Amino acid sequence: MGMSGIAGLDRERAGVLVRLALAEDLGDVGDVTSLSVVPEGLVAEARIITKEDCVVAGLPVAEAVFKAVDARLTFSAMVDDGDYVAAYSEIARLEGDAASLLTGERTALNFLQRLCGIATVSARFAKAVEGSGTRILDTRKTTPGWRDLEKYAVRAGGGSNHRIGLYDRVLVKDNHRELAGLEGSGGIGRSVERARKRFPGLEIEVEADTLDEVCEAVEAGADYVLLDNMDDSTVAQAVELNSGRSKLEASGGITEDRLSSLAAAGVDYISCGALTHSVKAIDLSMEIIPCTSSS
């Protein structure tokens, strides 16, 4: 099956992670248990089962794991990434050499359980603001090396991606503007002016801690203003002061309980690091059954 229109996964980067993960697990010797215990040439079927309700993400990565172990294995996705499934649903089916299936099992499930967890939380957050026009964003608070995968999982759950890295949007935070302001007053204005001149093709976002800083950022022409750790009342005031000139993003101290009120205040985005840094992995298992015939 396909990926239900989710913006594509970078398979080359995913492949690098798959190779590293397998090297970590197999070392220089391989799966010594399966090599010594499982009869050579035994063919088996396997099913990957989710033990709890979730939104699926990461099936192409799991397939890449098994194919890297043994290109002869067949992998059939039973659902699409982005699909909601109930507990004890079969999400993938495999067939091939039994030892190879066992060798790839844990690495494949490790990828799947985390990515499904991210997609599931992202779906809950997106549902909470549905119909408001507010979009849920992730952050750069991702597992090192996993950013492409984790941001893909956010999209699978119905969330959207903030900047991917330090290279694709200017985000002026307090330390940046304080350093820029050492040459005189107006750290925010100076920062925006310098960024616009140096990288004219990039959007500029400014972090604001107070309503005065919101006004300064908007007047400086920031494309986005990040409302940092503001309570709901202050966020509502910032929306009024902005009058639609810059896009507004609420961030910091975001909990699921606050999502609907922040959306009602009229912010364009709500960003939350917890989508990627604090999710609970989904409980998955692989059930394996020997085939009646072997090769």
Catalytic residue among 13, 135, 140, 141: 141
Distance from C-alpha of 71 to C-alpha of 66, rounded to nearest angstrom: 7
Element (H, E) at 102: helix 98-128
Catalytic residue among 70, 174, 228, 283: 228
Distance from C-alpha of 168 to C-alpha of 163, rounded to nearest angstrom: 6
Decide if 173 is catalytic: yes
Other C-beta atoms within 10 Å of 51: how many? 12
Decide if 11 is catalytic: no
Q: CA angle, corner 110, sides to 16 and 125, nearest 5?
A: 100
Partnered with residue 77 across adjacent β-strands are 92
Other C-beta atoms within 10 Å of 20: how many? 11
Catalytic residue among 67, 93, 173, 196: 173
Decide if 228 is catalytic: yes
Decide if 138 is catalytic: no
Report which of 239, 242, 164 is spatially closest to residue 203, judged by C-alpha positions: 164
Catalytic residue among 106, 140, 163, 194: 106
Decide if 193 is catalytic: no
Catalytic residue among 207, 213, 216, 249: 207
Residues acting as catalytic residues: 106, 141, 173, 207, 228
